[in-house]
Amino acid sequence: MGIDFEKALNEEQYGVVTAEDGPMLVLAAAGTGKTRTLVYRVAYLVEHGIAADRILLLTFTNKAAREMLDRSTSLVGLGISGVWGGTFHHMANRMLRRYGSLLGYPADYTILDRDDSRTLVSECVKRLGFQGKEFPKRDVLLQIFGSAANTEQPIEDIVDERFHELEVDAADIVSVHRAFVERKKGLGAMDFDDMLTKCLQLFREHPDVLERYQQQFIYVLVDEYQDTNTIQAQLVDSIAERHRNLMVVGDDFQSIYSWRGADFRNILSFSDRYADAREFRLETNYRSVPEILDVANACIAGNPEQFQKVLRPTRESYKKPRVATLRDGDDQARYVVGQISKFLGEGYRASEIAVLYRAHFHAMEVQLALARANIPYIITSGVRFFEQAHIKDVCSLLRILENPSDELAFSRLIQLLGGVGPMTAIKMWKKLGGNFDVSSKPQQDIVEQSLKSRAKEGWKEIRSVFPVSKEGDTAEEGGREIEAFLECFYAQYAEATFENADRRIDDVHELAAFIRKFDSVEDFLSEVALLTNMDAEPDRIKNGNSDDCIRLSTVHQAKGLEWAAVVVLWVTDGMFPSSRAINESEGGESEERRLFYVAVTRAKDELCLCVPEMRRMRDGGIYYCEPSRYVEELDPGLIRDVRPGYF
């Protein structure tokens, strides 16, 4: 017996699933059953006689593809098994395995993983003689190469945009890229970026191959179309050109990944490229209560250049979102702990509660407060703030300033210098007699004499931060030492070492301001050590799948997820929206508003927006914050205004 599509779907979804042939733009707003619609569209096509291998379903993760194909199989059985379903890279790999020889690659070409690519880039840099303090490390080079491939920008342009602290000759980086490309070709290997660019090259240079796939795929379906980059959009357009049965599904309101190459214009210009495209909108929301949707609709309406949509609720009325006006970051942290305790007391599981933020450093105080309150949490968005490499690097300076016998801190600090490895650090520590007094010029000289020439310049910069004498241990001095370290050495090191150097430098600035809250550097270091130890104790925290942990996440990493209760931190102008994103990125203000919309629409039942009134600056002064424009623009009737001391 066939599927009763009309019964299984709402009116909007049914219109998409049963649509006639031709190009289709499906604008699926948050929580409106996008995946369900795609699954039923595939099932509908198969049920109506389309051979499964004539359908191409493109997604951004293998997990999403498996979920869609599994759900389609449960609807129509194993007849679905022939569907070409997977990521863009999966599709490109299948095609290149068959026809890559036309581009000079063997059928069994090697796909390089990240470590393989790092090794090859390092070889190229070494062979060309570009090693040195100022030259970008391999991860940074790979990020530049990947950005150039995915945006079709010249490497020179990306280098000019990327580096502020380093004096880098773009021609040298182009030379490394050329050597890297030749090395990969000689090994019969491709990296992930190559798979997409080579597939597009295959189509352009061998139209007979393209025609073969154009004939095979009668229907092409693309998920999360707003996240496609230039290469991916061209691949899709090429394959769908013959039959023109292209269905792209996405939400321009949730286009938040321009920093990694996603091109917002792909979805906005779809109807320009396909003049006969029919437009469908999924606006019936099954996730959030009406009051949360009212806030989401109001905040996103302020954006220009978008397909206007209005989320319509299916759930019953509940509570208005709270806007909590708080004194500062510490008051915010206490408030968040109180809210979490309240949610837990009302019966929510810990895994149903999330704390979201625009940038990692926004959660410093909250992480400390949760640890003190013995509330387990996990970081969905990656490593905990104080366990990140750049934070540990900077703290190693403070640790050796505080404790001359801290060998681990000395070792980490000295290994920031080029050409210094663990064995060199051990030998140096022995020469120092197991103690390094930062104010001792003879000991500083011992270190310098043990270094190779390429590392000596960096050491001179670091030692300029050391105090002449070890007097006092004020947190104010600690903040100044971090800022001096950043200015004379670490900012350049970060740009040469990390792909996201700007964010990490911001983190260090914020760390310097954060330290000034403590009575002494010793108190700060003790607090961080206790935090790390408390976090490590419970086994449940080590298990990222635990239901006993609160989720902490950047908004970027939270996209696609949902929680019953959501708290958003630092909803103040300059923090959320980010002043850096607005000032340094074309279209940055619009994307920041979309990011806020994503944060709001993660919440199902409870939403709390935290608005601290002040924050400590890197120079030790106080900055009085203005509420985020996204909050200021809201009709007061949409929210509950909460003041300090009220939970």
**Residue 536 binned pLDDT confidence (cut-offs 50, 70, 90):** very low
For the cut 60, the answer to whether the pLDDT of residue 428 exceeds it is yes
CA–CA distance, 379 with 386 (Å, rounded to integer): 12
Does the bond joining 313 to the residue before it have cis omega, within 30 degrees of 0?
A: no
Token pair, residue 389, equals 């490499």
- Helix (H, G, I), strand (E, B), or coil: what is residue 553? strand
- Give me the DSSP letters along 130-189: --STTSPPHHHHHHHHHHHHHHT--HHHHHHHH-SSS---HHHHHHHHHHHHHHHHHHTE
pLDDT above 90: percentage of residues in the chain: 62
Give the pLDDT of residue 167. Answer: 79
**Residue 537 binned pLDDT confidence (cut-offs 50, 70, 90):** very low
Strand pairing category for 622-624 and 614-616: antiparallel
Q: Which residues pair with 190 in a beta bridge?
A: 111
Phi, psi of 229 (to 5 degrees): -100, -175
Give the pLDDT of residue 602. Answer: 97
For tokens 């051979």, the residue is: 51
pLDDT tens digits along 556-610: 999 989 999 999 999 999 999 999 888 877 788 999 999 999 999 999 999 999 9
Give the pLDDT of residue 544. Answer: 44
**Residue 330 binned pLDDT confidence (cut-offs 50, 70, 90):** very high
pLDDT tens digits along 121-132: 999 998 998 876
Token pair, residue 46, equals 């198969």
Query: For the range 180-183, what are the long-range contacts, defined as Cβ-Cβ under 8 Å and sequence gap of 24 or more?
Result: 180/120, 180/121, 180/124, 180/141, 180/145, 183/120, 183/123, 183/124
Strand pairing category for 284-285 and 55-59: unpaired
611's enclosing H/E stretch is strand 603-612
Q: Which of 341, 326, 343 is nearest to 642 (CA)?
A: 326
For the cut 50, the answer to whether the pLDDT of residue 538 exceeds it is no
What residues contact residue 237 under an 8 Å CB cut-off, 6+ apart?
A: 246, 273
Phi, psi of 382 (to 5 degrees): 130, -145
**Residue 540 binned pLDDT confidence (cut-offs 50, 70, 90):** very low
Mean pLDDT throughout 140-152?
A: 91
Helices (H), 500-628: 501-515, 521-536, 539-542, 555-558, 579-584, 588-600
CA–CA distance, 618 with 486 (Å, rounded to integer): 12
Burial of 330 (0-12, 13-18, 19+ CB in 10 A): middle
Token pair, residue 426, equals 């051990």
Give the pLDDT of residue 546. Answer: 59
pLDDT tens digits along 186-213: 999 999 899 999 999 999 999 999 999 9
Give the pLDDT of residue 567. Answer: 98
Strand pairing category for 84-87 and 55-59: parallel
What residues contact residue 292 under an 8 Å CB cut-off, 6+ apart?
A: 321, 600, 601, 603, 604, 607
pLDDT tens digits along 446-499: 888 888 877 888 898 998 888 765 555 688 888 889 999 999 999 989 988 888
Q: Which of 601, 525, 616, 540 is nearest to 289 (CA)?
A: 601
CA–CA distance, 324 with 646 (Å, rounded to integer): 9
What residues contact residue 57 under an 8 Å CB cut-off, 6+ apart?
A: 38, 42, 65, 68, 69, 83, 84, 85, 86, 221, 223
Token pair, residue 590, equals 């619009």
Q: Which of 513, 509, 516 is nearest to 474 (CA)?
A: 516
- Helix (H, G, I), strand (E, B), or coil: what is residue 195? helix
Query: Whole-number mean pLDDT of the chain?
Result: 89
What residues contact residue 529 under an 8 Å CB cut-off, 6+ apart?
A: none
Token pair, residue 558, equals 């939270």
265's enclosing H/E stretch is helix 265-268
